[in-house]
Amino acid sequence: MDSEHTRRRVLELAGVGTGLALAGCVGGGTDAPASTGDTASPTSEPTETPEETDTATETETETPDPTMSTVFHFTGDVSQQEHALGNVSNLLADDTIDLDDVVLLVNGSGFRLVLAEQTEHAEKLTELLDEGVSIRACENTMERFSATEDDLVDGVGTVPSGVGELTKLQAGDGYAYIKTP
């Protein structure tokens, strides 16, 4: 078959009128036949008709949205604690998001949120822990406050370094980062 006839046959099989030309298609713009190793060369039988393509597309199932993990970073003062806890609660209540894991990491001035003797929000922290939120305190900050794990609200964990934990969660584990007031 000559290359012009081949081009016309390919266009016909693709459902394109024969009055159109495809640039860079079969034969690379010359009348020389395509080499046997050329994957773009047509075959005598199409491997897939347009009808088969449409059917295959219709039967494919949608990929579900991926689950997400989020880390909230709280370094604010006492006046911002309720707002920070509200942000975490709002994310948990959002039914449009498929959450895998939520972490609340406190360091700096935000550390007072998890100190059992200083926080006014121990009950809310316990509720968040019961809902599966992992609450973590920076051990460097604990040292600065002369606090131990016994001084924390029950269930609050510790990490050696708040900034190290944030780095690990974001870069290594793919967590979304939210700086909360």
Domain residue ranges of the chain, discontinuous segments joined by + = 3-59, 68-180
- What's CA 131's distance to the chain center, in Å? 22
For 26-180, where are the E strands, in sequence order? 68-74, 99-106, 134-138, 157-159, 176-180
Rounded to 10 degrees, what is the CA torsion of 157, 160, 163, 169?
-60
Q: How far is CA 171 from CA 37, 71, 74, 163, 174, in A?
A: 43, 12, 19, 12, 6
Instruction: Judge contact between 168 and 71, C-beta under 8 A.
Output: no
Given this model, what pLDDT does residue 28 score?
44
Given this model, what pLDDT does residue 23 score?
43
Q: How far is CA 65 from CA 68, 97, 102, 113, 171, in A?
A: 9, 9, 17, 33, 21
The pLDDT tens digits for 58-90 are: 556 666 667 899 999 999 999 999 999 999 999
Given this model, what pLDDT does residue 59 score?
53
Given this model, what pLDDT does residue 66 score?
72
The pLDDT tens digits for 11-65 are: 555 554 544 444 444 444 444 444 444 444 445 555 555 555 555 555 566 666 6
Residues 6+ apart with CB under 8 A from 49: 13
Record the tokens describing residue 78, joined without a space.
């006492």
H/E stretch holding 4: helix 3-13
- Backbone conformation region of residue 91, classed left if phi is above 0, alpha if psi is from -120 to 50, else beta: alpha
Place of tokens 């969660």: 169
Given this model, what pLDDT does residue 20 score?
43
Q: How far apart are CA 112 and CA 106, in angstroms?
A: 9
The pLDDT tens digits for 130-155 are: 999 999 999 999 999 999 999 999 99
CATH superfamily of 68-180: DsrEFH-like (3.40.1260.10)
Q: Is 121 helix (H, G, I), strand (E, B) or coil?
A: coil
User: What DSSP character marks residue 86?
Assistant: H
The pLDDT tens digits for 103-130 are: 999 999 999 999 999 999 999 999 999 9
